[in-house]
Amino acid sequence: MKLEKEKTVPPRKPRNLIPFLIGGVVIIIFFIFSIARNLAERPIAKISYDAFIAELGTLDLEKYSNIKEVTIVGMEVTGRLHKAVELHDIRTGRIITTDSFRTTLAFEDPDLIRAMEAKGMGIIFKAASPWGRVIFNFLLPVLFIVFLWIMFIRYMQAGSKGAIAFGKSKAKLLDKDIPKVTFSDVAGIDESKEELQEIVSFLKWPERYRKLGAKIPKGVLLYGPPGCGKTLLAKAIAGEANVSFFNVNGSDFVEMFVGVGASRVRDVFEQGRKHAPSIIFIDEIDAVGRQRFSGIGGGHDEREQTLNQLLAEMDGFSTQEAVIVIAATNRMDVLDAALLRPGRFDRQVEVYSPDLRGREEILKVHTKGIILGKSVDLKLIARKTPGFFGADMANVANEAALLAARKDKKAVGAKEFMEAIERVIAGPERRSRIISDYEKSIVAYHESGHALLALLISEADPLHKVSIIPRGGRALGYTLQFPLEDRYLTTKKELLGRVVVFLGGRVAEQVVFNESTTGAQNDLEIATKAIRKMVCEFGMSEKLGPMTFRDSEDKLFLGRDITRDKHYSDKIALDIDNEVRSLIDKCYHRAETLLKSNREKLDKLAATLKEHEVLDGDKVQEIVGIKRDTALENR
């Protein structure tokens, strides 16, 4: 079920913009007519006073004057000529041909007026009034800009969903009429559900707890890896509690304007109090709740101000208001310590990866609407998906249904589910990729090296499938191994066995072709990380002893450990590198010894794999003559 219908709270009706539109149209029309009128006028030359006297024919009444009429406004004179002449425009410095001019009188001269009257010129006197020019040149443009700004503000604030709705939070109130997600839709994380069912119980029957003096936690923090079901749990709480549920993302608080984040925090808590009992769900809270002033170059003032307001709101409202904050994060390690103390997020619920039974229950939830074939065994599929989270299992079920629909089948079979698992792990097949016969041989020996070592090393996970069909972006082949059961502890011997299998591809290339290729890049990366963890984190080094030398994983964000002294010396760092290299060399030598002593089996397996491209675990055992128990169904 999906929670899709949402509404913003409080709803705001967009204001009537018709008067503003009419006013804007009037101003625009006025400007258009003014510009058109100016364009229609003949060019006017701004001439000097001396040029004006020359055109006037000096003050001598008998000399001819080319001036036809003038308009005098204060000391400003504009006029028309009998015939167009070339005049020097003192504003532009150019010579233009025109019959209109403008000039400024140097001083008041009564004789000038009498001379123009005597020569029969038309003279028009106007009172000097600068307001018209001020209005046209200054006030109207300012009013037009103000109008555009008001229109922009009104448009952006319509419905309170615009970027300029400064202090309003973007919290969304889930509509009570939409389909609900309940705890029955959440599977595989039973302990986490039990923790949250208590919250729902308090919201439904608060008196039961208040009679005993119990106080509900003010905040609940859901943490775990991506895709484990944190947001789904929050939706289930909303569906079960039947109270107002506000949903907001951590990144919605902080925007480009200073102070917006703190204002939005106040607004969302105010809404929560108005609709109490209520739940405020903040997804990805690490976007706003990261530790303060922890990075190089100082902190982020706006985010810190938002966090401070969040801390104040969580610690400020009374528990009797029945407002509960639920937050989700993938990075609990970067959250500010003030958020995690009692009184704020009192309860911290880990949403863990599901075990075998949990994965089976998750598959049952996600296959409710899917027609399954008789060959489908959900328990077997769950065994073949170790380490998968709820989102991964949902993806597997959906991919299987899509594959069956693509083949126009009436039901989804076990084959589609296995193909879906491989698509999720390694990506879709790319049969269109054409590789040369030589490269195909290298890939066949590479994958055969992995597969043969998986059978020869008893502590390695059982082999399920080997393929040289390209998948995803770069993988030219892959080898799948599935454990027989969920494991929570791993021995040193098992870790070293896994590393030997990872190195099998590179060793096979060296043994057969006496050459190394780039195809082993991912194998070497995984093997090196595994060995370094054994030495630095698990204390599995005989030379360094049971000590941990783990480096902090949050350096790039926090910047704390760059300025802090290392807790081991340079000599220890060199010893760590030497021990990692030594263990890698031992694993490489073991893989080389096993493959050289079983060269005939390696050649036979590679030739068969090159011919058929895909082999399952049982077929590989039959080819090389090695038997291992891989019957997942019987366990």
**Rounded-to-integer distance, Cα 292 and Cα 299, Å:** 6
- The closest alpha carbon to 616, from 604, 602, 630, 603, belongs to 630
* CA 526 to centroid of chain Cα atoms: 27
Q: Tell me, letter by letter, the H, E, C secondary structure of 313-379.
A: HHHHCCHHHCEEEEEEECCHHHECHHHHCCCCCCEEEECCCCCHHHHHHHHHHHCCCCCECCCCCHH
Q: Which one of 447, 509, 579, 592 is the catalytic residue?
A: 447
DSSP state of 634: G
DSSP state of 81: E
* Pair of tokens at residue 595: 């493959």
At residue 212's C-alpha, the angle toward residues 208 and 213, to 5°, is: 110
- The closest alpha carbon to 254, from 266, 243, 263, belongs to 263
**Rounded-to-integer distance, Cα 423 and Cα 385, Å:** 12
* Pair of tokens at residue 530: 């595994």
**Rounded-to-integer distance, Cα 324 and Cα 347, Å:** 11
- Pair 610, 451: CB distance under 8 Å: no
The reply to whether 525 belongs to the active site is no
* Pair of tokens at residue 8: 């913003």
**Rounded-to-integer distance, Cα 352 and Cα 82, Å:** 97
DSSP state of 78: E
- The closest alpha carbon to 81, from 22, 130, 122, belongs to 122
First vs last C-alpha separation in the chain: 34
- The closest alpha carbon to 162, from 172, 171, 154, belongs to 154
508's enclosing H/E stretch is: helix 492-513
Residues in the chain: 635
DSSP character string of 133-174: HHIIIIIHHHHHHHHHHHHHHHHHHGGG-STT-TT----EEE
126's enclosing H/E stretch is: strand 122-126
Distances (CA, A) of 37 to 71, 97, 553: 19, 20, 71
**Which residues are identified as catalytic?**
447
